Chain A
Amino acid sequence: MIPDRRLLRNLDHSLVFAVLALCLIGFTIVFSATRGGIGPGSPQDPFYFVKRQVTAFVLGALACVAILTMDYRLVARAPRALYIGNLALLALVLVAGHRISGAQSWFRLGSMALQPSELAKVVLILTLAHHLAEAGDIATHRGLALAFAHAAVPAGLVLLQNDLGTALVFCGITLAMVYVAGARGRDLLAVVGAGVLASPVVFFVLLKDYQRARLLAFLNPYADPTGTGYNVIQSTIAIGSGRFFGKGLFHGTQAQLNFLPAHHTDFIFSVIGEEIGFIGAVVVLALYGFILWRCVHAAACAKDAFGRLVATGVGAMLLFHLFVNVGMTMSLMPVTGIPLPFLSYGGSSLMANLIAIGFVLDIYMRRQKILF
């Protein structure tokens, strides 16, 4: 099932290059952030994290190529199986999963830890796109409610894992897809308004203590600089001190001295800001801007509603991650612990994002109806 040459001519090479460039920057920064260890218990091999990240990249790239060999519409043939499989995985991790820093979101497989909620985002995009493309009455209240219900079940399971950040990503994805599918603007405004009104309930009733503390720390990090505000202060210092040109790769004192917890995962953007400065950070943001534009473009060119919605969902997912994660490192957003796509260390996230990009590439490649 090698794609036809005519199809390959239609491949969005610029998107491929932009993603590759981001991944290469990611490897470099992950190496810089981890080569001296990441605190007590870190492995001796300075390339340990990079090697694992490159491995995940290779696996993700293979998956990406595999997606290109088939028509993306094939996945729309078994939407129910996909949806149920997704829920089953998320439920299983709740029962048999492994807890890392407060969130029960991991499966242990030997030395690997897999996070099904990363893949779940992509699967939600596919199943919701299918649902919206088939339902067609999204402008009605009932249709809208059904679409939100479709997304709410997996999002709820993720929330049960104590992974608030990822659950919020589900909301972002759903809002964007429902909007592009044709939901009425005022309906969505009502939903968002209701969410805002409900937030005090969420804050005081549903959130765990540490999640509440994180949100409060965001509002005033200096209230408790030794505790929960610590990450935000350190990250802001790191980025600010990078100034225009940065301190140079491997020379970020904040990152290299392990002042910054999780600086190779959720706080990798602080290392970028510190070590390669404003210039480097803007290049990274520009690459994201380009990738997001190509996703929207693929959505605009897609030959069917399903493809358009999938590309929209992927774009929304990446955008939401970008804003929440980068915003968090600069104390614009609360600490929610979601990774920066393609850059943060973490195999599940990298593979899931590459798979998502695979679908966008496939949708764009097959934008014209080609007769064989």
Chain B
Amino acid sequence: MRDSPVENRLKHLGLVILAVLVVLTSRLWYLQIMRGDVYEALSVGNRVRVIPVPAPRGKILDRSGVPLVTSRMAFSVSIVPQDVPDMEATIARLAPILGMSPESIREKLGAPRRPFDPARLKTDVDPRVVTTIGEQRTDLPGVVVGEMPVRNYVYGEFASHLLGYIREIDATELKVYRDKGYRPGDLIGKVGVERTFEEYLRGEDGGEQVEVNSLSQPIKVLGSLPPVPGDDVVLTIDQKVQAAAERALAEQLDALSKSPKTKNAKAGAVVAMDPRTGEILAMTSKPAYDPNMFVGELSPEDLKFLSSSPSPQPNRVTSHTYPPGSAFKVITTLAALERHKVTIDDRFVCTGRDPESGKVCWIAERGRSHGKQDLVQGIANSCNIVFYELGRRVGIDNLAMYARVFGLGRPTGIALFPPDASGLVPDRTWKRLNFKGYDQRWYPTETLDVAIGQGALLVTPIQVANVYATIAAGGAMHEPMVARAVLSPDGKVIREFPPRGVGNVNVSAESLDILKQGLAKVVSEGTGAAAFKGFPVPAGGKTGTAQTPTGDSHGWFAGFAPLDHPEIVVVVLVEHGTGGSLAAAPVARKVMEAYFGIDEKPPAGPNEAGQTPEAAGGPQEPPTGGGAGPLAPAATQQVEPASPSQQVP
């Protein structure tokens, strides 16, 4: 059956196979052997080149769309090593033009990158430099000038730590981000919003494949892939409130550091938050830097500034921990009320000294005492004697528990790089785990220290804001957040970040109400009254003066307004500001003024008291009232500089 029809048909199939192979081989012969030289010339590295076209990064906007960070086009100078016949000569010629040292150029050339990719030497170069390079083009083969978008931080030193900055990706980041398409030389957000929302802001780089001549100049575009711009991030920040916080803190630090008694007050932090949602309205940390400095090369002065002390680099709102001082007394109060260890009718007597422990009230340092105090007065005057007693009644276990219930001792979970610090809530377990021998014991005096916010207790300003926001919101706790939404370049909402409630703290409305009475009294006639004299919106808050082993005490203020339906919580920390009433509370007032749109005017001093009839506690005048003037700074156990309120700027 050699020539059956089926055999024949299979033979035909074989012929088709043969024909296909012949056709393909002939085509190969034609392309590779007959025309190989032509195609080789086209493919050789110096004829066809891919020029990356970086994507414009997304904008960062404030809550109502005011641009805070944008992109602008800038010139960059790169070099294609394959096209440089004499590298040393080119470097020698180029270095003075760019104002770079030959070593730093060599360093840039040595950085890892893909073959034939141009090595970027300098970004954001002056147009005059571009002109000079253009004039010397024939003497600078392989040197290419390109345009690329660079970051523009509209307000300069403004929310620097919150916004962050972008820089070239480093080796460690590259390991993590290479899977996401990052290559050496790419820019990446390093901290702040720039880092946290990197995936939205970045966009996708495009590229152009061009045929170039022997001087690397494009002759013909062979193919192009347009870049995809990054998405815009809408923050929860209110530009006006932020600007007020920036200005108020800067001016306050400036004024304080000029006064001999507060000359060490050089750093601080302000955070404002909407207690109804956890939205951060303002966040500033001083000293700060202008993120625009990271666009080009850092100058030696920039580097010196960045390594100066106190350091401008950390975000003091989230990364630094401090003893809370009297700002913590809200926790002690709630713990005592909730555990039924105190009622609003309980009476205490401050003689300046705690009879059981021998510990003193801050007012004793001035040779005075608070005399008879009830709970609300104790809060208003920040009387330590009252809180030693409460601490003793409640015990460390309850104190630590309520501190943790309000989120102390662990990160708040705010989505902002770097992750925020945990702080520390000391208790018996902590001592057992971290100490040896007799030091493992928990001593009763340590409970008293914690009750007034001292001892080993450590908090971040964002945690304090979280505590006060929870109190202001009647126990509802939210995760602090800085971004509301992500918009596509054409303005469509791609992603929304709704407020994230993390539940209600188990604290009764009655306890919160009593606490709020105390906090209102702080502002109306207590330790915060001087700073808030004449403030038209009913407010509540607490000052704090936190002793620190490293120098002058830190000044705190944490408060909210309006009292009944709080819309804003403001926390101010002034490092080594010596007192909360003096250093921190006036800053908080200015931030609240900006939020409520109150015309800025200097906080009313006692001499202007008559102008402020609407102040809730109006009749209470300075030298009277329980033995302590409402102008006296809140303090813990240390010597307060007896500064009259007139000194407060």
Does the CB pair B32–A273 fall under 8 Å?
Answer: yes
- C-alpha spacing A300/B36, complex, angstroms: 41
Neighbouring A residues of B48 by C-beta, 8 Å? 237, 259
Neighbouring A residues of B224 by C-beta, 8 Å? 226
A263 contacts B by Cβ under 8 Å: no
Does the CB pair A281–B116 fall under 8 Å?
Answer: no
Binary per-residue interface labels of chain B (32-60) against chain A in the complex, 1 for a CB within 8 Å, 0 otherwise: 11011111101111001010000000000
Chain B min CB distance to A319 (Å)? 6
Neighbouring A residues of B20 by C-beta, 8 Å? 319, 322-323
Binary per-residue interface labels of chain B (4-38) against chain A in the complex, 1 for a CB within 8 Å, 0 otherwise: 01110110111011101101110111011101111
Does the CB pair A226–B114 fall under 8 Å?
Answer: no
Binary per-residue interface labels of chain A (212-249) against chain B in the complex, 1 for a CB within 8 Å, 0 otherwise: 00000000000001110010011011111111100000
Chain A min CB distance to B626 (Å)? 67
B221 contacts A by Cβ under 8 Å: yes
Neighbouring A residues of B14 by C-beta, 8 Å? 293, 296
Binary per-residue interface labels of chain B (113-132) against chain A in the complex, 1 for a CB within 8 Å, 0 otherwise: 01110000000000000000
- Indicate whether A281 sits within 8 Å of B179 (C-beta atoms), given known contacts A230-B223, A237-B43, A258-B50: no
Does the CB pair B223–A225 fall under 8 Å?
Answer: yes
A292 contacts B by Cβ under 8 Å: yes
Does the CB pair B204–A40 fall under 8 Å?
Answer: yes
A253 contacts B by Cβ under 8 Å: yes
- C-alpha spacing A312/B32, complex, angstroms: 33
Does the CB pair A253–B43 fall under 8 Å?
Answer: yes
Does the CB pair A237–B42 fall under 8 Å?
Answer: yes
Chain B min CB distance to A237 (Å)? 5
Residue on B with the closest CB to A315?
Answer: B13
- C-alpha spacing A277/B43, complex, angstroms: 14
Residue count of chain A within 8 Å CB distance of chain B: 58
Residue on A with the closest CB to B204?
Answer: A40
Neighbouring B residues of A332 by C-beta, 8 Å? 23-24, 27
> Top 10 nearest A-B pairs by Cβ distance?
A240-B39, A40-B181, A243-B36, A241-B43, A41-B181, A240-B31, A241-B40, A241-B39, A44-B178, A230-B223
Chain A min CB distance to B38 (Å)? 7
Does the CB pair B21–A289 fall under 8 Å?
Answer: yes
Given A179-B12, A274-B43, A327-B27, 9 new contacts (CB under 8 A): A41-B180, A236-B39, A240-B40, A241-B39, A257-B116, A296-B13, A296-B14, A326-B24, A332-B27
A279-302 at interface with B (beta carbon < 8 Å): 281-282, 285, 288-289, 292-293, 296, 299-300
Binary per-residue interface labels of chain B (129-173) against chain A in the complex, 1 for a CB within 8 Å, 0 otherwise: 000000000000000000000000000000000000000000000
Neighbouring A residues of B42 by C-beta, 8 Å? 237, 240-241
List the count of A-B residue pairs having beta carbons below 8 Å apart: 147
A348 contacts B by Cβ under 8 Å: no
Does the CB pair B114–A257 fall under 8 Å?
Answer: yes
Chain B min CB distance to A48 (Å)? 9
Does the CB pair A293–B17 fall under 8 Å?
Answer: yes
Residue on A with the closest CB to B48?
Answer: A259
- C-alpha spacing A244/B33, complex, angstroms: 6
B154-206 at interface with A (beta carbon < 8 Å): 175, 178-181, 204-205
- C-alpha spacing A366/B246, complex, angstroms: 86
Does the CB pair A182–B9 fall under 8 Å?
Answer: yes
A129-185 at interface with B (beta carbon < 8 Å): 176, 179-180, 182
Chain A min CB distance to B170 (Å)? 15
Chain A min CB distance to B31 (Å)? 4
B100 contacts A by Cβ under 8 Å: no
A-B contact pairs, 12 of them (CB 8 A): A40-B181, A44-B175, A225-B223, A240-B36, A241-B39, A241-B40, A273-B32, A278-B29, A282-B28, A285-B25, A288-B21, A330-B24
A36 contacts B by Cβ under 8 Å: yes
- C-alpha spacing A323/B31, complex, angstroms: 16
Chain A min CB distance to B138 (Å)? 26
A10 contacts B by Cβ under 8 Å: no
- C-alpha spacing A288/B20, complex, angstroms: 11
- Indicate whether A241 sits within 8 Å of B36 (C-beta atoms), given known contacts A42-B181, A233-B222, A323-B24: yes
Chain B min CB distance to A230 (Å)? 4
- C-alpha spacing A140/B39, complex, angstroms: 52
- C-alpha spacing A226/B25, complex, angstroms: 28
Does the CB pair A239–B32 fall under 8 Å?
Answer: yes
- C-alpha spacing A36/B178, complex, angstroms: 11
- Indicate whether A273 sits within 8 Å of B28 (C-beta atoms), given known contacts A180-B10, A244-B33: yes
- Indicate whether A244 sits within 8 Å of B10 (C-beta atoms), given known contacts A285-B25, A323-B24: no
Residue on A with the closest CB to B19?
Answer: A323
- C-alpha spacing A40/B6, complex, angstroms: 52
A308 contacts B by Cβ under 8 Å: yes
Neighbouring B residues of A349 by C-beta, 8 Å? none
Residue on B with the closest CB to A42?
Answer: B181
Binary per-residue interface labels of chain B (464-480) against chain A in the complex, 1 for a CB within 8 Å, 0 otherwise: 00000000000000000
Neighbouring B residues of A243 by C-beta, 8 Å? 32-33, 36-37, 40
- C-alpha spacing A236/B42, complex, angstroms: 10
Chain A min CB distance to B322 (Å)? 41
- Indicate whether A281 sits within 8 Å of B28 (C-beta atoms), given known contacts A180-B13, A300-B10: yes
Does the CB pair B16–A319 fall under 8 Å?
Answer: yes
Residue on A with the closest CB to B43?
Answer: A241
- Indicate whether A242 sits within 8 Å of B116 (C-beta atoms), given known contacts A40-B181, A237-B39, A330-B24: no
B209 contacts A by Cβ under 8 Å: yes
Does the CB pair B39–A300 fall under 8 Å?
Answer: no
- C-alpha spacing A37/B182, complex, angstroms: 11
Does the CB pair B9–A180 fall under 8 Å?
Answer: yes
- Indicate whether A285 sits within 8 Å of B36 (C-beta atoms), given known contacts A182-B9, A226-B224, A237-B42: no
- Indicate whether A330 sits within 8 Å of B28 (C-beta atoms), given known contacts A225-B223, A241-B42, A259-B50: yes
Residue on B with the closest CB to A183?
Answer: B9
Chain A min CB distance to B47 (Å)? 10
Does the CB pair A300–B7 fall under 8 Å?
Answer: yes
Does the CB pair A225–B222 fall under 8 Å?
Answer: yes
A43 contacts B by Cβ under 8 Å: yes
Chain A min CB distance to B495 (Å)? 20
Does the CB pair A180–B6 fall under 8 Å?
Answer: yes
- C-alpha spacing A230/B48, complex, angstroms: 13
A115 contacts B by Cβ under 8 Å: no
Does the CB pair B10–A296 fall under 8 Å?
Answer: yes
Does the CB pair A292–B17 fall under 8 Å?
Answer: yes
Does the CB pair B17–A240 fall under 8 Å?
Answer: no
Residue on B with the closest CB to A300?
Answer: B10
A316 contacts B by Cβ under 8 Å: yes
- C-alpha spacing A254/B33, complex, angstroms: 18
- C-alpha spacing A243/B33, complex, angstroms: 6
